[in-house]
């Protein structure tokens, strides 16, 4: 009954119009600034969020969509399909996945709902959701779509560096003493998304060295299916231009778009991070 329905969350980066074109259902997380709660991508844009951070005040927090939200969406989709793929931000970064799993229990035995941990977020999650939706439109069943997505997950990599240590400290990714010392020494931690968790990779002292490390990371890949630079703003900075020049020399036929990361990821890593997302060509 009907094609596989695809559900993801607002941390997924999708080009404008893609969600509507491919019928991807996007469930928003919530962003909390002080006493104010806003739905990510609906009530607040990345630009507005970063402007609010500059004004000071309480540190941002995020919360997942409610279990009830997932129950209602799955029930609505079940009126036209018996198969749903719900793929979300890493379960180690948010409770969104857990709430999706609990929401799926309401249709147990009546609808096949596969809840998949993408082990990533942002563009990585967007790549997976888009591929799943395209496969569904081509007539793939739920097992085939899940198999496709699970095969892609190990080939998506994200690495970035941050300027501000306090966000990492609040997320318990570094200790307080390490954060204070790092700030004093102007250290810029390089971080890697591994098994769905953000982990420290190494430390550098300058933006130039950080950019060099990002380039070295991408240069290790023999073949790239897709890649992008993620940062606070959509327009290139001096560091971005440096990185793009290096990439163009090594991968002359590849495009490296600049992607603005959103409020949820910013709440984990801060407003001054820069990184790269790589989807390497899988060996099917």
pLDDT tens-place string over residues 210-240? 899 999 999 999 889 999 999 988 888 989 9
Q: Which residue has the tokens 């991508």?
A: 41
Pure H helices in the chain: 18-21, 46-54, 67-78, 96-104, 122-137, 142-152, 166-170, 176-184, 207-219, 238-250, 263-269
At residue 81, the 3 state secondary structure works out as coil
CATH dotted code for 156-280: 3.30.1180.10
**Tens of pLDDT, residues 155-212:** 999 998 887 656 554 544 444 334 333 443 355 778 888 899 888 878 887 888 889 9
Query: What is the H or E stretch that residue 83 is in?
Result: strand 83-88
Mean model confidence pLDDT for the chain: 88
Least confident window among 79-83, 128-132, 246-250: 246-250
pLDDT value of position 128 = 98
| pLDDT on residue 219 | 94
Q: How confident is the model at residue 187, as a pLDDT?
A: 59
- Which CATH code fits 5-153? 3.40.50.10170
Region of 143 (left: φ > 0; alpha: ψ -120 to 50; beta: rest) is alpha
Mean pLDDT of 264-278: 87
- Top pLDDT among 282 and 110 is at 110
Q: Is the pLDDT of residue 56 over 70?
A: yes
Predicted confidence at residue 173, as pLDDT, reads 43
Report pLDDT for 96.
97
Q: What is the mean pLDDT of residues 72-85?
A: 97
Residue among 104, 95, 92, 79 nearest 7 (CA): 104
Map out the domains of the chain as residue ranges.
5-153, 156-280
Give the tens place of pLDDT for each residue, 85-132.
999 999 998 999 999 999 999 999 999 999 999 999 999 999 999 999
Please give the residue that has the higher pLDDT: either 59 or 14: 14
Query: What percent of the chain clears pLDDT 90, i.e. is strictly above it?
Result: 61
Q: What's the average model confidence in pLDDT over 27-38?
A: 92
């Amino acid at each position: 009954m009907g094609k596989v329905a695809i559900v993801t969350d607002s941390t997924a980066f999708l080009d404008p119009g893609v969600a509507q074109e491919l019928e991807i259902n996007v469930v928003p997380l919530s962003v909390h600034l002080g006493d104010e709660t806003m739905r990510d991508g609906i009530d607040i844009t990345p630009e507005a969020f970063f402007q609010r951070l500059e004004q000071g005040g309480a540190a941002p927090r995020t919360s997942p969509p409610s279990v009830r939200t997932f129950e209602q969406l799955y029930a609505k989709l079940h009126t036209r399909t018996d198969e749903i793929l719900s793929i979300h931000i890493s379960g180690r970064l948010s409770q969104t996945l857990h709430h999706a799993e609990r929401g799926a229990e309401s249709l147990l035995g009546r609808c096949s709902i596969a809840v998949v941990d993408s082990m990533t977020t942002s563009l990585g999650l967007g790549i997976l959701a888009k591929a799943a939706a395209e496969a569904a439109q081509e007539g793939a069943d739920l097992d085939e779509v899940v198999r496709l997505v699970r095969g892609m997950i190990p080939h998506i990599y994200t690495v970035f560096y941050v300027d501000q240590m306090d966000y990492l400290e609040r997320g318990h990714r570094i200790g307080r003493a390490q954060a204070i010392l790092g700030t004093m020494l102007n250290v810029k931690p390089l971080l890697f998304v591994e098994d769905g968790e953000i982990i420290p990779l190494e430390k550098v002292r300058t933006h130039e060295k950080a950019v060099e490390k990002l380039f070295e990371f991408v240069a290790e890949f023999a073949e790239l299916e897709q890649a992008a630079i993620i940062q606070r703003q959509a327009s290139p900075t001096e560091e971005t231009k440096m990185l793009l020049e290096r990439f163009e020399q090594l991968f002359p036929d590849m495009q490296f778009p600049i992607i603005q990361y959103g409020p949820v990821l910013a709440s984990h890593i801060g407003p001054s991070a820069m990184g790269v997302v790589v989807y390497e060509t899988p060996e099917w």
